[in-house]
A and B are shown apart, each in its own frame.
Chain A
Amino acid sequence: NAGVTQTPKFRVLKTGQSMTLLCAQDMNHEYMYWYRQDPGMGLRLIHYSVGEGTTAKGEVPDGYNVSRLKKQNFLLGLESAAPSQTSVYFCASSLSVSNQPQHFGDGTRLSIL
């Protein structure tokens, strides 16, 4: 009963390095989301996807790219990491875009030095 799985769980990067965060869901959900959670800021939407092969920008998309090549996977990329991107990143998925709950992964804790 995996639900939403995020890898890796922790990562430390140096400024300027790149990396990809992977999100996988086994619930056959059409919609997937990437959020970041920062102290005192709450969760903010980075990018989202309404289906395989489609992506869209959320509230704070700058510095990130995403891809949804397979329905079950949603990748978040940092091309050139900056200290301001130090955060906890959460992936979520939902069956519908409007009236079904979002289900969250356990998060990836990313530190940029």
Chain B
Amino acid sequence: KQEVTQIPAALSVPEGENLVLNCSFTDSAIYNLQWFRQDPGKGLTSLLLIQSSQREQTSGRLNASLDKSSGRSTLYIAASQPGDSATYLCAVRSYSGAGSYQLTFGKGTKLSVIP
């Protein structure tokens, strides 16, 4: 069974700092990996999707990398801002049988960017 771990569970940084969030997964047979952002009381917003054949994806100040063989992904946030404060979730998509591809989520990293 796929398991996804995110470390640390919480992170507090001063504004302007570059930071890295980590995600690891136990089964390397994945189709893709998706990073989400969740604001308090809100749903999930998709940030980046990396296919299993890709090494990284970039969107603005965000860069996500994928090392499928080692079961790891990182989300790099450059020049952090208070508006980046949220919980960041990592999810991997794996084949679960009968034509189904399911997402397995980590528990998230709660980021606080201090002005």
Contacts and interface: CB of A to CB of B under 8 A. Distances in A.
| A and B from one complex | yes
B43 A107 contact: yes
Nearest to B6: A42
A50 B101 CA distance: 10
Contacts of A97: 99-101
B55 to A, nearest CB: 16
20 contacts: A40-B107, A42-B105, A42-B108, A43-B103, A43-B105, A48-B102, A50-B100, A56-B98, A59-B102, A98-B93, A99-B32, A99-B51, A102-B46, A102-B103, A103-B46, A104-B45, A104-B46, A105-B43, A106-B42, A107-B41
B103 A45 contact: yes
Interface of B is mostly: strand
A101 interface: yes
Interface size class of B (residues with CB under 8 A): 20 to 34
Contacts of B93: 98
B31 interface: yes
A81 to B, nearest CB: 22
B106 A58 contact: no
Nearest to B102: A45
A99 B108 contact: no
Contacts of B99: 50, 97
B29 to A, nearest CB: 13
Interface string A53-67: 000101100000000
Contacts of A4: 43
B100 A102 contact: no
Contacts of B78: none
Interface in B48-91: 49, 51, 89, 91
A99 B31 contact: yes
A104 B43 contact: yes
A41 interface: yes
Given A43-B91, A103-B46, A104-B44, 8 more contacts: A41-B107, A44-B105, A50-B100, A59-B102, A98-B32, A98-B93, A101-B46, A105-B43
A93 to B, nearest CB: 12
